[in-house]
Amino acid sequence: MHPEGYGGRWDEASRAKLVRINALRRRAAAPLLAFEEDCASAADARGQCAALAALFERLELPELLAARADELEREGRRQEAAEYARIWDAAVDALEQCAGVLGDMEMDAAAFSRLYLLTLSQYNVGVIPVSLDMVTAGDFDRMRRRHIKHLIILGAAEERLPAPEPEGGVFTGDERRLLAELGLALDAGEAELWREYTLIYNCVSLPGETL
């Protein structure tokens, strides 16, 4: 197909452009196709972890993230640079946790993907502000500063404070009820609610002058 779409006129420049496009397409598809094959041949969670680790290596992900962090640092965007520097550690830690906990459990790529993303969602790449003469913004659980004068809570509403219980998780509602009937009650929801109340109290008590 002509790189400019149907009706385009073929010439030397358009043919050269098509060659470059196809080369880039094959370059982008190669690691994904290899990843698909690795996932299909993996019989357990540890194999799925190895497949994902191999994809990271093929993509040269740690080098790309480090280069991006250096670029942001040169541009003076130190906060973003520090966050990029932590992404790789979070990805590897989550992968190691999945391999250690799930181990030889039989699992296809779809199930592993759900559990890996769930594990990865528990990581927070936020960092301490890189300077003191600036406005600090973040979620309630990232507010650690004391002796601040003013605090603004954005989007405060009854349906958001406390935050609603997130959907998803390892166990479904039916599985939680079954575990409770077997004598293993999971009170994570209530514990999370009290944690939310604690975070709210800690934050609204931070400012010394205005809230």
Instruction: Please say if the pLDDT value at position 132 is more than 50.
Output: no
Instruction: Please say if the pLDDT value at position 141 is more than 70.
Output: no
Mean pLDDT, residues 103-126: 85
195 or 163: whose pLDDT is higher? Answer: 195
Task: Report CA 190 to chain centroid distance, whole Å.
Answer: 25
Instruction: Please say if the pLDDT value at position 119 is more than 70.
Output: yes
Percent of the chain at pLDDT > 70 equals 77
Mean pLDDT, residues 114-127: 79
pLDDT of 53 reads 93
Q: Are 123 and 182 in contact (CB under 8 A)?
A: no
Which of 6-10, 35-39, 73-77, 180-184 has the weakest average pLDDT?
Answer: 6-10
State both tokens at 204. 């609204």
Task: Report CA 41 to chain centroid distance, whole Å.
Answer: 26
The C-alpha angle 163, 167, 170, rounded to 5 degrees, equals 125
Mean pLDDT, residues 148-160: 79
User: Under 8 Å CB-to-CB from 42, ≥6 apart: which residues?
Assistant: 48, 50, 51, 109
Closest to 53 measured CA to CA, from 36, 26, 29, 35: 35
Closest to 190 measured CA to CA, from 182, 201, 198: 198
